[in-house]
Each structure stands twice: as C-alpha cells, then as structure tokens.
Amino acid sequence: MPDKPKMTAADVIAQVEERDVRFVRLWFTDILGQLKSFSINAAELADAFDGGAGFDGSSITGFNAIEESDMIAMPDPSTFAVLPWRPDDQGVARMFCDIVTPDRRPYEGDPRHALRRAVERASELGFDTFNVGPELEYYYFKEGQVAPGAAPEPLDQGGYFDLTTLDAGSDIRRDTVLALEQMGIHVEYTHHEVGPSQQEIDMRYADAMKMADDCMTYRIVVKEYAMKYGYHATFMPKPLYGQNGSGMHTHQSLFKDGKELAVRAEIRCPDPACNPYLTFAALLQAGLEGIEQGYELPEPMEKNLYHLTIEDGRRLSVEHLPETLGEAVELAAGSELVLRTLGEHMFNRFIEIKRQEWEGYRVQVTQWELDRYLPIL
C-alpha cells in the first residue's frame, strides 16, 4: 500500500476548519524525553506556520539558561492529528515541532534535531530509510502514588497472552488502540504481558522520525485512556519487585535504493521511558559507525546467558552491560560516539543531569536497608 501524501500547512488549516478544531497543541520533548506542550488558538495557526511560536526555554530540562532562553517552536504539518479523547465540538489537535533559535537555526538541544542529523548521516552513506519497530511495554496500576514501603497495586494477576477475566486491561487496551489508529498510528497487535497487569501494544514499523513521534503519542494516549478508567499507566522500567520489568525491544532495518539489508537487527536493552529521538539516533549512529569502520560481528552465543557463571562468562569473553546508572553515565561521558550523536550542547547537559540523578539515588537510605539492619545493628 503506498504511503499517504504528507499533510501541508494548507491541508492542516483546511482540516482545522472542517473538523471544528479550536485549539492546537504544539508538542516537543525535553532532553529526557518528557512531552512538553503549549496550546495556540486555531486562528493563530497560519502565523505559527509562517514564523513559529515563541516560548521561554529556560524552564525546559536540558534547554538553555535564562540569559539565552528565547526559543521558537516550528510546527511540522505532517504530524497533525486531532486528539480523540478531547471533545468533538471545539476540538483539540496536536502537531510536533522542531525547535529553532531566534535566528532560525536548529536548536542544538532539540532531540528531534539529533535524530535528524543521524538520518542525514545515513543518507550521506547512501541509505534511503532507517526503519524502526519498537515494542513498548507498560503496567496498569490502581493508583499513581503509593505509601512509603508499599508496592503499587496491579489490576489483575494475569500472565503472558492471558485473555480471561484476569486481564482487566482488555477494554482499556481496546480504546487505546482505537485512539492510536484515529491518530494515524497503525497497531499490529496487542496483548497481556508476563507481569501482573503488564501490557504491550505493538505499532507497525515506520521511519525513525515518525516512529519517535509515534512513541511519544503512544505514551500519552496510553496514560490518557488509563486515567479515563480511573487507573494509572506507567512506563517505569521496573515498577514491581520480583516481576518482569518493562522493555522496549527495538527492531531496526536500513534500506538502500529502496531495498532492505539482508537482516533486521533487534536490540533488547532500551526501555519504554527513554527519549525515543535520542535512542533511535544513538542506535543509528552506532550502526553506521560499524559499517564505516568495518566492525566484525562476533559469533552468536547459543546459550542462555542467565545461566552462565561468572567464570563461564569470562572464559567465553561475554561482556556485561553496566550494572548501575552511575557506571552507564561514566561510560557515556567517555564516548566520542555519544558526543557526536548528541552534539556538545546536549551531551554536556545530559551527562550533568544523569550524574545528579545517580548521586540523588546513591545517597538514599532504602527500605531494604532499614528492614535488614535497623533491628540488629
């Protein structure tokens, strides 16, 4: 099936009038992948397409400080969609934006810009398209906050692929899928995951920029429809002790002259709370680095790595990913590839933010420590 032609600014203005859209939300993300938004009157849409919409970026995580805080959001008409959870009359739509400086240069702290630079590098190497197909998992809980020492309460005790009364999330998932499709996101399948009240809705693969936009949309749609039912949805990677965490297995493929590579690569370590623009940019830049430098793929490891002892792992030269955020941050801080992927501006801010996050976590006194040591020491 051929792709639909992308909407232009004129198409969007016509749709706004035809569908009685009163407000247009301009969406973008901060450096950590949190969705940011401000709304403009539909009557201001033509001006926004022409000159963008100004805002103060000094309060956006990872953006510029107050002395250079003026930012401009340039709406991307190809991302226009009406929000199905808002009223039909005097409705609300959204568009993703590229962030630029007052002199109209791409803002170095815009995650969308980092992904666009990675895609442009792939194009320079002769590749037409970088497609990604992420599988985002998440949990439904009865409340969004819990008492100190307590665990969040799932809606059910169902397991993988369960379709019984145990799967209390079926109706929420159904409404979520319908909403995603109304917003132009093709859903391939959906099911209960392994953990209690854990879910997965899989979107059909798309080019990296559209998929990053779709991931941001997916997360807010999931949360909105959970809230309509009186529940809380979370993409937190590990919300329950002793239960499966939520991942974002990501399938990748490169096309050249309209034809795929011989293989599709899947990476299983990203999580669904990530910044998808930066994640896809890093994956693409890493792959291109391997292609350019002629890196050799190691032989496949046809073993269950979870059952290997430390000695077996050393003997088989199995390398381990960082075990803590602190280790991961310092590895990233020393990586020229990460620096090139993010650019100096975003790289410095990202490393600083993550170091502060790790330090805040590291100095906590945990409930585990209190339960284990307070009675006996």
* CB count in 10 Å sphere of residue 3: 8
Top-level class of domain 9-107: alpha beta
Write the burial class of residue 336 (CB in 10 Å: 0-12 exposed, 13-18 middle, 19+ buried).
Answer: exposed
For residue 269, what pLDDT band results from cuts at 50, 70 and 90? very high
Task: Quick: pLDDT tens for 299-337.
Answer: 888 888 888 888 888 888 888 889 999 999 999 999 999
Rounded mean pLDDT, 250-254? 95
For residue 175, what pLDDT band results from cuts at 50, 70 and 90? very high
pLDDT value, residue 63: 83
Task: Quick: pLDDT tens for 257-266.
Answer: 877 686 789 9
Helix 336-362 to helix 111-124 angle, to the nearest 10 degrees? Answer: 150
> What is the CATH code of the structural domain delimited by 119-300?
3.30.590.10
**Per-residue tokens: 208:** 């990296």
Express the helix, strand and coil content of the chain in percent, nearest 5 each: 40, 20, 40
pLDDT above 50 for 1: no
**Domain limits of the chain?**
9-107, 119-300, 325-377
Task: Quick: pLDDT tens for 324-371.
Answer: 999 999 999 999 999 999 999 999 999 999 999 999 999 999 989 999
pLDDT value, residue 262: 63
* CB count in 10 Å sphere of residue 358: 17
Global confidence as pTM:
0.93
Residue 366 Cα distances to 86, 92, 259, 323, angstroms: 41, 43, 52, 18
